[in-house]
């Protein structure tokens, strides 16, 4: 993993984990223990899914830009399908509050995306100028 990729992963995972703690507290206050359990599970799901995706894209980026784009699209589709399957399978489960789980997953996914976006915007872009562009002599 490249240092910039690790910085992106840390820059998104830490704020999402902090928001996840807040989600657990909100779940506890609104739905009791079942809500707290649902928010904790949502935090784990989002952190694991998005971290695996970031690692896969980082690995594919070492191969080529086209492979990186394919890995990003494939990991996005796998995440969406996995969350859909998870929510469908867990729909009838009464051990936690499924409404809190759903809202927490949405909030934490948006938090991850916003934090990752913020980290990327803070980086200075690399501009490769050929030597001939620097030479201004006639």
Q: Which pLDDT value is given to residue 87?
A: 77
Let me know if residue 135 belongs to a domain.
no
132 within some domain: no
Would 85 be classed as within a structural domain? yes
pTM summary value: 0.79
Transcribe the chain into DSSP letters: --HHHHHHHHHHHHHHHHHHHHHHHHHHHHHHHHHHHHHHHHHHHHHHHHHHHHHHHHHHHTT-HHHHHHHHHHHHHHHHHHHHHHHHHTTT--SS-HHHHHHHHHHHHHHHHHHHHHHHHHSPPP----HHHH----
**Residue 19 is part of which domain span?**
3-120
Is residue 57 included in any domain, yes or no?
Answer: yes
Number of domains in the chain: 1
Of residues 108 and 136, which shows the higher confidence score? 108
Residue 39 lies in a domain: yes
How confident is the model over 39-83, as pLDDT tens digits?
999 999 999 999 988 888 888 888 888 888 888 899 889 888 988
């Amino acid at each position: 993993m490249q240092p910039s990729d690790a910085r992106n992963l840390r820059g998104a995972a830490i704020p999402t984990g902090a928001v996840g703690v807040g989600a657990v507290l909100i779940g506890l206050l609104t739905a009791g223990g079942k809500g707290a359990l649902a928010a904790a599970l949502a935090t784990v799901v989002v952190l694991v899914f998005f971290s695996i995706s970031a690692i896969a894209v980082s690995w594919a980026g070492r191969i080529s830009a086209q492979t990186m784009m394919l890995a990003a699209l494939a990991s996005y589709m796998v995440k969406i399908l996995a969350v859909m399957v998870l929510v469908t399978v867990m729909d009838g489960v009464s051990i936690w509050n499924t409404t809190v789980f759903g809202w927490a997953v949405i909030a934490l996914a948006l938090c991850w995306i916003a934090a990752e976006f913020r980290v990327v915007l803070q980086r200075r872009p690399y501009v490769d100028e050929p030597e001939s562009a620097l030479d201004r002599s006639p």
